[in-house]
Amino acid sequence: MNPSRLRCLIVDDSAPFRTAARGMLESGGITVVGTASTLADAVSQSETTHPDVALVDIDLGGESGFDVADALHALAVEPAVVLISTHNHDEFTDMIDASSAIGFVPKFSLSADRVRSALADAQ
């Protein structure tokens, strides 16, 4: 994975957040190859776009971002999953640590550099 040419999938149930995150990430040099709002959409998008990293909201309305992380982890060509949330990391520490995700970034501090940092920390 080339950190300067990252391909990203954004999984979040908020359309305005997906739009804002796409703009912010792309201005930071990360290519957003797709967006999804459900587990099924995330798997489908990942299978067709082959992102390097998937940013997955922990709370997807009626679905769990942890379930999405596990589903993406099971794919033949799995993206690295970074969980995101408006909630504090401390609220989910045990579940994040037990998940297949490589890290967590709070939504309020999401940036291209934070995504690259999460990926570097996981290596």
pTM of the model: 0.92
For tokens 């997807």, the residue is: 60
Question: pLDDT per position in the chain (123 positions), as tens?
Answer: 555 689 999 999 999 999 999 999 999 999 999 999 999 999 999 999 999 999 999 999 889 999 999 999 998 788 999 999 987 767 778 888 888 899 999 999 999 999 999 999 887
What pairing do the DSSP bridges indicate for beta strands 59-60 and 63-64?
A: antiparallel
* Structural contact between residues 23 and 30, judged by C-beta atoms closer than 8 angstroms: no
Number of Cβ within a 10 Å radius of residue 110? 20
Give the pair of three-digit tokens for residue 46.
């990942």
Give the pair of three-digit tokens for residue 97.
């640590």
Question: What contacts 116, CB < 8 A, 6 or more positions away?
Answer: 3, 6
The domains of the chain, with CATH numbers, are 3-114 (3.40.50.2300)
